[in-house]
Amino acid sequence: MTPRYLINPGFSTKIHPYADCIIIGSGIAGLSTAIRLSEHTIKVLTKSSFSASTTWYAQGGVAAAIKKPDGWKKHYEDTITAGQGLCDRKAVEILVKNAPEMIENLIEIGTNFDIIDGEISLTTEGGHSYPRILHAGGDATGEEVEKSLVSFTRELKKVNFIPDYFVLDILTSENRCLGVTGFDTKRGEIEIHPSSNVLISTGGIGQLYEISTNPSISTGDGIAMAYRAGAEIMDIEFVQFHPTVFRTNDGELFLISEALRGEGAYLRDCRGNRFMIGKHPLAELAPRDIVVKEMIKTMEISRCNFVYLDATHIPMSLLKIRFPNIISKLNENGLTLEKDLVKVSPAEHYLNGGIWTDYNGRTGIEGVFSCGETAATGAHGANRLASNSLMEGLVYGWRIYQNIGEKLKKSNSGQKETLSDLNKLIEKSKKEIRSSKVLKGSPMDIDTLILKLRSMMSQNVGILRNRAGLERAAEFVNFHIENKNLYDRKDIDALEFANMLTVADLIIKSALIREESRGTHLRSDFPERDDKNWKKHIILKKDKVRFKKVR
């Protein structure tokens, strides 16, 4: 059996003061919630620097129907269509109806969206029937949004930022939140942060794969800690791959925004032929799962490991305004959008599922919330509509703020009960620890094991799957996941690897259960979509499986 904790809380050497809310993660979901809750004592714990968040790397933009003839109903329809029959309709309605107000909130805190002729500039991306993608700095939307959020929150006296801090686990008693354990990597100490409200907004899982657009910190920590604490995990088999990722001369990966195709760029096979014509009415602007599927087919037929992205017909005056970062990166690699076809291929990009939440961001554990890519609200279904991710973090962060805010208005915030139960938990944990208080573990080549896991996931649990491959991956994960040498040790790589194994295990289990192809989950042994048997969510909890009908 997998241990309950990465590191037993009995090893803690310090208990920090109680906080009204602890936020794990410093992307758009976490920081926007911190701003709204800033009249209370808030801690923002983040594993790395603020510029390492997934938000920072978002190029394309944020989706909101802010200009007629577009409207929330059209945005709703596009999202439902992209979700391939698995979207929660109420969750989508909450998302798209509140999107325009979230844009106003971002502008109020200093976000500078691109302006043309005195109006906010809008573009189109895959699956959108109208231009509704707001962008900033051309193709640096995430960076601009993150900078404005960080700048604003740094001025808030009650918001305490703790960067370079590895959160280990959610602490609970009788399914109620007591706080978190954390690893101060600079001092090498295990610590406890008490709180009856914890928000998990730790981003994605990209490091489980060899090729990903995610930052290096995206090891699925939030999902793993929530699962260990007893939360439910939903739709985790739906891993989205971005169609257009460029490999630089030094081997690094660089995302080329879907917005480039929104401005008219084509996809061509290695012989120069456009292959999306006739495959979907929107051609290159079809939803991502459809584009990726056709790219894979095309690459197999032509025996090339890439396709071309062609923007040579688009005026350079427009390209320079909209895509300065992409142009700069390509120039560094001896290419220009004006003259050259750019080799691209798919890479892991976004997790559609995650920690199950209700419409207020609440998980099944009292006091534990989740939003952003870590959460599964049901708004994305089997395939996220482009640029809905940043907006989902904003909207559901706002819902969480309302819920926590109401709790904190009450005279009895639960602080005394939380601290009392926490002390009991620590005493019990200390009794479980053997006489040695020094955390040790047998030598392990963690770097090699991580590389093997990434290879196994990419080959067998990537874009195209089948039972044989999934079972090979499961065998590898099952062999390592219960290795006690991964736990109770002050080794970030080992702890991250344990989290990665937990998330990989969840993805593989769900992918084996879902015997159909839908959205971003493609089974070569079950190539058809099966609404009769599989129009439902798969939910995992502590080795239990249940199914939930689509609402």
pLDDT in tens, the chain (551 residues): 789 999 999 999 999 999 999 999 988 889 999 999 999 999 999 997 655 455 655 556 899 999 999 999 999 999 999 999 999 999 999 999 999 999 999 999 889 999 988 999 998 888 899 999 998 887 678 788 888 888 888 888 889 999 889 999 999 999 999 999 999 988 999 999 999 999 999 999 999 999 998 988 999 999 999 999 999 999 999 999 999 999 999 988 899 988 899 899 999 999 999 999 999 999 999 988 899 999 999 999 999 999 999 999 999 999 998 899 899 999 999 999 999 999 999 999 999 999 999 999 999 999 999 999 999 999 999 999 989 999 999 999 999 999 999 888 876 667 889 999 999 999 999 988 865 555 555 678 999 999 999 999 999 999 999 999 999 999 999 999 988 889 999 999 999 999 999 999 999 999 999 999 999 999 999 999 999 999 999 999 998 999 999 98
| 397 and 327 housed in the same domain | no
- Measured distance CA(26)–CA(201) in Å, rounded: 8
Q: Are residues 373 and 410 in the same domain?
A: yes
Phi-psi region of 110 (alpha: psi -120 to 50; beta: other; left: phi over 0): left
200 and 164 in a common domain: yes
Q: Is residue 260 part of a domain?
A: yes
143 inside domain:
yes
Report the number of secondary-structure helices (H) and strands (E) in the chain. 15, 26
Q: Is residue 288 flagged as an active site residue?
A: yes
Look at residue 31 and tell me if it is in a domain: yes
- Residue 504, in any domain of the structure: no
Q: Mark residue 120 as left, alpha or beta (left: phi above 0; alpha: psi -120 to 50; beta: remaining).
A: beta
Provide the domain limits for residue 75. Answer: 9-238+352-418
Calpha distance 520→529 (Å, rounded):
11
Q: Which of 62, 88, 27, 23 is nearest to 359 (CA)?
A: 88
Residues 432, 481 contacting (CB under 8 angstroms): no
Inside any domain, residue 32 = yes
Separation CA 378–CA 232 (nearest Å): 13
- Bridge partners (DSSP) of residue 376 are 356
123 Cβ partners below 8 Å, 6+ apart? Answer: 61, 131, 133, 135, 259, 262, 263, 322
* Residue 139 sits in the same domain as residue 253: no
Q: What residue ranges in 391-543 does DSSP mark as E strands?
A: 464-465, 522-523, 536-541
Boundary (domain end) residue, out of 418, 448, 475: 418
Catalytic: which of 36, 261, 268, 288?
288
Shared domain check, 356 and 413 = yes
Q: What is the pLDDT of residue 35?
A: 92
Last residue within a domain, chosen from 369, 399, 418 = 418
Same domain, 102 and 143: yes
Say if residue 180 is in the same domain as residue 207. yes
Residue 173 belongs to some domain of the structure? yes
Do 186 and 271 lie in one domain? The reply is no
Closest CA to 223 of 243, 206, 246: 206
For the chain, what's the residue count?
A: 551
Q: Are residues 298 and 273 both part of a single domain?
A: yes
Query: What is the per-residue pLDDT for 305?
Result: 92
Per-residue 3-state assignment (H helix, E strand, C coil) for 263-290: CCCEEECCCCCECCCCCCCCHHHCCHHH
Does a structural domain hold residue 516?
A: no
Say how many domains are in the chain: 2
Residues pairing with 268 in the sheet: 274, 308
Task: For the beta carbon of residue 2, count every other beta carbon within 10 angstroms.
Answer: 17
- Given 349, 365, 396, the domain boundary residue is 349
312: domain CATH number is: 3.90.700.10
In this structure, what CATH number is given to the domain that contains residue 218?
3.50.50.60
Longest dimension (CA), the chain: 71
**C-alpha triplet 334, 240, 266: angle, nearest 5°:** 45
Examine the domain organization and report whether 344 and 380 are in the same domain: no
- Looking at the fold, whether 33 and 125 belong to one and the same domain comes out as yes
How distant is the alpha carbon of residue 477 from its chain centre?
22
Is there a domain that residue 468 lies in?
A: no
Both 38 and 165 in a single domain?
A: yes
